[in-house]
Structures are given as C-alpha cells and as structure tokens.
C-alpha cells in the first residue's frame, strides 16, 4: 500500500493572501475556496500542479524547502538535478562553469538525474511488454498527472506504468558510483533540485513507492540564484567526465515528447494540465483511437515550464535541444558498464501499484449522495449562473455542491442575498454583515492600493 497522501508542499501565507480569487479560478480541480477572505486549499483535491501559485498576484502561495545547510552534515554532498536546469542559464555560461559554481556553493558531487537513461527506458519497455493488454500505457513521470488520475480518473489507474521517475534513477546511480569510490551509504547526502512543487510532494510522500530516497529538496529557483551569485566566466576545470553517462535522450526526457518518442508504435504527448484533462475525458469515454503510449505533463512545455523554473520556457527548450545535439543517443551507451551492470538499479525502479483516491463524490453513501445531488440541482436553479466567485467558490455549481455538504450557506451568494433583501426577508444591515464576515471589513474600506486588480497577475 502506498502511504496516505497527506503532504503538500504548498502553503498559503495568511499575511499576504488578499482573497482575490485568482488562484481559486485557476485551479483545475476546484480545490480552492476563499473563506473569511483567505484562500484555503482542500488537500484531498489538490494535485500539486502549481497553477494557483502562478496565478497569485501577491506571491502569497509559497513552497517549503529544506535548508541547504542540512547538507553540511554529510561527507559526500550530492546535488541531483534534472537536466532541464541547465537550460535556464544564460547562453554565455558553459556546462563546466555551472558545475564549478555548484561545487563552489558547497556540494562535493554533481549528478544530472537522467543518467544512465537507458536503464529507465528499458525498464519501462519491459513493463509495457508484460502488460500488452492494457492500453494505452500512461507515463507516471509527472507526479501532478499521477495524482490527477488518482482523484479524477480512477478507471485509468491500471494504465499507469509502474515505474519510478528519473530522480530515483539518478539517486541510485549516484549512490552506486560513490560507493565505488569508497563512500559509505550513510556518509552520502542526496539533495534533489526540483522544478516544481509536484516533484517535492512525490519525493516526500511518494505515490506508489515506500519511502523517499533523497535527504533534502531544494527549489530550483533558489539554487538558480545561488549559482548565479557563485558563477564566473573564467576558465574552469573540465568536468565532462561527470557527464559521461548523460545522453541526448536523457537531456530531452523532461521536455514534451521526451518520453513518447521512445515507446509504442503510436504514441502521444500532451502538455498543460487543462489539455490533459480534456484528453483524459475523451480517453475515458473511449473516444480516442488505439494509442500505445501516452506522455502527459502538467506544465506547458513540460518541465521547462515548471513553476520553479526561472527562464522563459521556450528559450529553455531551445537551449536544451541544442545542448542535446552535442551528446550521443542512449543506444550508443547501451554497452557501457553502468548500463550493463544495472540489474540492481533496474530492480529498484519498479514502483508499487498506484491506488485510486476519488475526491469528487458527494457522499460515501450512494443514497445520500443522490439526495445531495438532487438538492444541489434544485439550488442551482436559484443561483445566478455567472460564476462570479464572490461567494468564495469557483463557480455556482461548486457552491451548490458545497452547500449540500454543509460547507457553504445560501447567504454566501450575494445575488440570493440581494433578492432576499428585495423581498424583505433579510435586513440590509444583516446582508451587509454577512458579506463583511465572508470577506473581512477591509474589503469595504477605500484603499487606492488595493491589490488583485485586473492585470495585477501579469
């Protein structure tokens, strides 16, 4: 059994949140409500896609991370990062200079996680071959997508490939290499640099895995800043030997079509969580032709568009593509020692079965759920249908569902209140207090710097 899904890396800073509803409207799973003027994330529904963070004009949603200082406790301080990180640095810095800066910051060893990618590739191939009858195979690379399928598309659970992600590959590989150099396992501290909050959650409470392999997580934007402070464009030592297991396929792995080009006769790659949702709806209805392999990523341009990436996603892709050209394809390394002796790593890349966690039912009991649905349907008749969000729910339908589950009141709808006032069923004073309770007194004070206005998010 996979561990209970309790950990989420996102936190809302109550001092900064102004309850502007931008995040609530951006969330693809309707996981956010504004309560007492503050956004709240409903954890069972959150898939960690990071869209709310992107939408927040106040930067009130932040991602926890581990302290880099923790690394000091280890003799071998390994920084593990996806190759996509290199893509955000200005063109003028070489790979050697970036590696040198990482060492200068205090790490002793630098590993890009997608090596040797051939091991993961053949492991996935193997899985697909043994499960021929369940098509399409769906990649489990992007943790936000895994969670989306768990909560919203449980009928597709069996289609998910039971293999771990490149960060597991890279971690095991790094441990093996260091052991060869004489390191004890408890002397090695692995620090994973993440492009998004989804990877954090998957590393901290892995879905379909028993425990996390890394000792700490660092946000990529934080590390980017540190590297930029430490880097210089002077001559630095040649570090290419540390990348001898890195391949073209590995570098491109986290970009769109990075996986799909390798598997199945007919494969597809879809990026952007809203696109993915639209496609999965169709897939569930069997409205799509026979596809062998599906690569699904929550971010536009996949990890190049990760929420903690600093550079422009398109420039990042461009730089990685031209970098990849300088590396050999994975098959050329098929005969290299790390790939040939990878039996043990391969074993470790097998993940446990993923379990569904449906998060959209109205009640555990079906009879009661049906009653609630009927009730919600009647409530809907009275709501204005403009999805204004002034009630603190993302749309009228969601408010009706919240109401039948006791999470919202009729008076939360400002239109209904207005109507009741007009009909004399509620006093103006009471109506005003209601809204004030919902949004806080400050909402009604004149303030020319009031944030969250249109364009604030751009």
Partner 1 sequence: MNLEFEIAGGDFTKAGYASSQVKKMLKQLGVEAHCIKNIVIALYEAEVNVVAHAYEGQILVHIESDKITTKIIDKGPGIPDIEQAMQEGYSTASKKVREMGFGAGMGLPNIKKNTDKLQIQSKVDEGTTVEMVNYF
Does 281 bind partner 1 (CB under 8 A)? Our answer is: yes
Between CA 21 and CA 33 the distance in angstroms is 8
Tallying the residues shown for the chain, one arrives at 458
Rg for the chain, CA atoms, rounded: 25
Q: Minimum Å distance from CB 137 to partner 1?
A: 18
Partner from ligand SF4, partner 1, none binding residue 303, C-beta < 5-8 Å depending on class: ligand SF4
Does 35 bind partner 1 (CB under 8 A)? Our answer is: no
Say how many residues touch partner 1, by CB under 8 A.
26
Say how many residues touch ligand SF4, by CB under 6 A.
26
Does 199 bind ligand SF4 (CB under 6 A)? Our answer is: yes
Q: Are 86 and 254 in contact, with CB atoms under 8 Å apart?
A: no
Does 200 bind ligand SF4 (CB under 6 A)? Our answer is: no
Does 232 bind partner 1 (CB under 8 A)? Our answer is: no
Among 30, 112, 401, 412, binds partner 1 (CB under 8 A): 401
What residue is closest to ligand SF4 based on CB?
306
Q: Minimum Å distance from CB 321 to ligand SF4?
A: 17
Q: Which of 317, 76, 299 is nearest to 176 (CA)?
A: 76
Token pair, residue 246, equals 């890195």
Which residue matches tokens 């409500």? Answer: 33
Does 11 bind partner 1 (CB under 8 A)? Our answer is: no
Between CA 129 and CA 123 the distance in angstroms is 10
Residue closer to ligand SF4 (CB basis): 44 or 134: 44
- Residues 132-191 touching partner 1, rule: CB under 8 A, are 152, 154-155, 157
Between CA 314 and CA 283 the distance in angstroms is 29
Does 174 bind ligand SF4 (CB under 6 A)? Our answer is: no
Site string for partner 1, 102-131 (x = CB under 8 A): ------------------------------
Q: Minimum Å distance from CB 214 to ligand SF4?
A: 15
Which residue matches tokens 């909050």? Answer: 197
Between CA 189 and CA 179 the distance in angstroms is 13
Between CA 282 and CA 294 the distance in angstroms is 13
Given the rule CB under 8 A, which of 76-84, 95-103, 286-294, 296-304 is the region that contacts partner 1?
286-294
Partner from partner 1, ligand SF4, none binding residue 281, C-beta < 5-8 Å depending on class: partner 1
Site string for ligand SF4, 126-155 (x = CB under 6 A): ----------------x-x-----------
Among 284, 387, 436, 456, binds partner 1 (CB under 8 A): 284
Between CA 166 and CA 444 the distance in angstroms is 51
Among 364, 423, 446, 449, binds partner 1 (CB under 8 A): 364
Partner from ligand SF4, partner 1, none binding residue 285, C-beta < 5-8 Å depending on class: partner 1
Residues at the interface with ligand SF4 (CB under 6 A): 10, 26-27, 29, 31-32, 41, 46-52, 142, 144, 195-196, 198-199, 297-299, 302-303, 306
Residues at the interface with partner 1 (CB under 8 A): 152, 154-155, 157, 281-282, 284-287, 289, 356, 358, 360-364, 366-367, 369-370, 373-374, 377, 401
């Amino acid at each position: 059994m996979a561990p209970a899904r309790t950990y989420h890396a996102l936190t809302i800073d109550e001092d900064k949140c102004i309850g502007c509803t931008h995040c609530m409207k951006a969330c693809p799973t309707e996981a956010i409500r504004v309560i007492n003027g503050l956004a709240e994330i409903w954890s069972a529904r959150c898939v960690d896609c990071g869209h709310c963070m992107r939408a927040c004009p106040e930067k009130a949603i932040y991602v926890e991370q581990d302290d880099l200082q923790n690394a000091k406790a280890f003799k071998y301080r390994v920084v593990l990062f996806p190759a996509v990180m290199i893509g955000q640095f200005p063109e003028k810095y070489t790979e050697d200079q970036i590696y040198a800066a990482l060492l200068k910051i205090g790490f002793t060893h630098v590993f890009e996680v997608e090596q040797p990618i051939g091991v993961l590739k053949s492991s996935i191939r193997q899985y697909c071959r043994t499960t021929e009858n369940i098509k399409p195979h769906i990649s489990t690379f992007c943790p936000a997508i895994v969670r989306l399928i768990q909560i919203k598309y449980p009928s597709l659970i069996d289609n998910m490939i039971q293999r771990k992600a490149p960060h597991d590959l890279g971690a095991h590989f790094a441990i093996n290499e260091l052991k060869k150099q004489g390191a004890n396992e408890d002397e090695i501290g692995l620090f994973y640099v993440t492009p998004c909050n989804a990877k954090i959650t998957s590393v901290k409470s892995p879905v379909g895995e028993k425990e996390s392999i890394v000792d700490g997580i660092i946000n990529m934007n934080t590390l980017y800043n540190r590297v930029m402070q430490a880097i210089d464009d002077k001559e630095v030592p040649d570090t290419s030997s540390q990348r001898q297991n890195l391949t073209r396929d590995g570098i491109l792995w986290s970009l769109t079509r990075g996986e799909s080009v390798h598997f199945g006769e007919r494969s597809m790659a879809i990026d952007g969580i809203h696109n993915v949702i639209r496609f999965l709806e169709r897939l569930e209805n069997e409205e799509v032709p026979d596809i062998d392999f599906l690569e699904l990523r929550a971010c536009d341009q996949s990890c190049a568009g990760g929420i903690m990436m600093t550079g422009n996603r398109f420039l990042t892709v461009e730089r990685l593509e031209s970098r990849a050209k300088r590396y050999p394809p994975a098959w050329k390394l098929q005969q290299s020692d790390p790939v040939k002796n990878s039996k043990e790593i391969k074993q470790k890349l097998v993940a446990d079965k993923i379990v569904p966690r449906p998060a959209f039912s109205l009640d555990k009991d079906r009879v009661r759920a049906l009653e609630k649905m009927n009730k919600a349907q009647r409530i809907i008749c009275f709501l204005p249908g403009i999805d204004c969000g002034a009630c603190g729910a993302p749309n009228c339908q969601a408010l009706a569902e919240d109401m039948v589950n006791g999470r919202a009141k009729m008076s939360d709808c400002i239109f209904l209140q207005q109507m009741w006032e007009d009909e004399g069923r509620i006093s103006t004073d009471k109506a005003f207090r209601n809204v004030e309770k919902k949004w806080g007194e400050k909402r009604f004070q004149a303030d020319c710097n009031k944030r969250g206005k249109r364009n604030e998010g751009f």
